[in-house]
């Protein structure tokens, strides 16, 4: 217990800290130090960051949240952009943001607080800068929605992570942000028997699945002969891996196409497989190695 008390003192004085820094301070190995930090975290004496520095989280003492801003350089490009927008505006309306920003806001959990707002009998998601108090947030949200109409905040408090992905308000005119209603493949698309110009991408899609030992679990046709969503299982040596698969019959794939598909995949807690018979735009190709590096992209 004496060692744990030393660690608490060190974190309180110098936090946020990496496990390796704490280990050096107490002159112990990293394995034992990590175990002690986990014990203190479980007992809620200290906190842990979602942000990673060299693959490791930061441990900090309650009240040191503002110091996490010193590690913003460890966010990726789109995450830093979302961070900057929220820092500047203090409150952001979720559905008005571009898809990539909406994804990033869900990833920078150290700096965002999701809020449920009841507006005209509809629940909307807003994002609050983590150091902004609730009273200021309510005022800013009222200004965003309407200067004449008073809104009713639905308990201005953080949502559970599951709620932030399942209760996003989808606007009718924003087709790219709609959650696909994925149904059984028996009720939707049938495997094409012959190749037609408009359905060439479907044939290529099924050929790709066959070639790579990918099994279709669920399908949903979004736009006939243009866009289809799948839930698939990829057979690997270590077992089956499930993917959300977006297929698009489009000549040029842009950043919005990738962002929207990634948002859909993340809302389901699945990695994204993006298939197309088209080509990536120059900007999208660059972002595939940075902001969208977790997307498995294939031209078929």
pLDDT in tens, 19-70: 999 999 999 888 889 888 988 998 899 999 999 998 889 999 999 999 999 9
Q: Which residues contact 39 (CB under 8 A, 6 or more apart)?
A: 4
3-class state of residue 241 by DSSP: strand
Angle value at C-alpha 94, between 65 and 264, nearest 5 degrees: 105
Architecture of domain 185-299: 3-Layer(aba) Sandwich (3.40)
Under 8 Å between Cβ of 18 and 48: no
What's the CA gap between 197 and 200, in Å, rounded?
5
Q: Taking residues 190-198, report their average pLDDT.
A: 41
Q: Is 81 exposed, middle or buried (0-12, 13-18, 19+ CB in 10 A)?
A: middle
Compute the distance between CA of residue 47 and CA of residue 61 in angstroms, rounded to an integer.
6
pLDDT at 179: 36
pLDDT band for 177, please (50, 70, 90 cuts): very low
Alpha helices in the chain (DSSP H): 2-14, 19-26, 30-42, 77-89, 99-107, 134-145, 161-166, 200-211, 255-267, 282-287
Relative to beta strand 122-129, strand 91-93 is antiparallel
In this prediction, residue 1 carries a pLDDT of 56
Query: What class, spelled out in words, does domain 2-64 have in CATH?
Result: mainly alpha
3-class state of residue 165 by DSSP = helix
3-state secondary structure of 250: coil
Give residue 103's pLDDT band: very low, low, confident or very high (50, 70, 90): confident
Residues 145 and 119 sit within 8 Å (Cβ to Cβ): yes
Q: How far is CA 50 from CA 58, 68, 111, 126, 193, in A?
A: 8, 10, 10, 20, 49
Per-residue pLDDT tens over the stretch 113-160: 999 888 777 788 899 999 999 999 999 999 988 754 444 444 444 444
Domain coordinates in residue numbering, the chain: 2-64, 75-169, 185-299
For 91-116, b where at least 16 C-beta lie within 10 A, e where not — what string?
A: bbbbeebbbbbbbbbbbbbbbbbbbb
What integer is the mean pLDDT of 84-107?
Answer: 91
The whole model's pTM is what? Answer: 0.53
**Nearest one of 99, 59, 90 to 284, comparing CA atoms:** 99
Give the pLDDT of residue 190.
41
The two structure tokens encoding residue 156? 């201005």
Q: Which two tokens stand for residue 209?
A: 């699945």
Q: What is the pLDDT of residues 247-285, one digit of tens each?
A: 999 899 988 889 888 888 888 888 899 999 889 988 888
């Amino acid at each position: 217990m004496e060692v744990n008390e030393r660690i608490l003192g060190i974190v309180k004085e110098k936090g946020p800290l990496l496990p390796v820094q704490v280990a050096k301070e107490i002159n112990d190995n990293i394995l034992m130090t990590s175990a002690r930090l986990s014990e203190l975290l479980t007992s809620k004496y200290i906190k842990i960051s979602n942000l990673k520095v060299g693959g490791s989280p930061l441990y900090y003492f309650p009240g040191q949240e503002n110091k996490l801003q010193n590690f913003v350089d460890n966010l990726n490009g789109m995450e830093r952009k979302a961070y900057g927008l929220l820092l500047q505006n203090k409150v952001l309306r979720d559905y008005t943001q571009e898809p990539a920003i909406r994804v990033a806001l869900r990833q920078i959990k150290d700096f965002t607080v999701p809020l449920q707002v009841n507006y005209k009998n509809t629940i909307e998601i807003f994002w609050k800068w983590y150091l902004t108090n609730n009273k200021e947030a309510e005022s800013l949200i009222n200004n965003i929605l309407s200067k004449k109409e008073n809104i009713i905040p639905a308990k201005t408090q953080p949502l559970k992570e599951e709620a932030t992905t399942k209760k996003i308000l989808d606007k009718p005119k924003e087709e790219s942000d709609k959650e696909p209603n994925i149904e059984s493949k028996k009720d939707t698309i049938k495997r094409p028997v012959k190749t037609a110009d408009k359905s060439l991408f479907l044939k290529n899609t099924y050929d790709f699945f066959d070639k790579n030992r990918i099994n279709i679990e669920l399908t949903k046709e979004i736009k006939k002969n243009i866009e289809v969503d799948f839930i698939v299982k990829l057979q690997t040596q270590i077992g089956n891996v499930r993917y959300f698969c977006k297929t698009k019959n489009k000549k040029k794939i842009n950043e919005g196409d990738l962002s929207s598909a990634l948002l859909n995949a993340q809302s389901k807690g699945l990695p994204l497989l993006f298939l197309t018979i088209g080509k990536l735009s120059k900007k999208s190709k660059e972002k595939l190695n940075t902001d969208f590096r977790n997307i498995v992209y294939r031209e078929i």
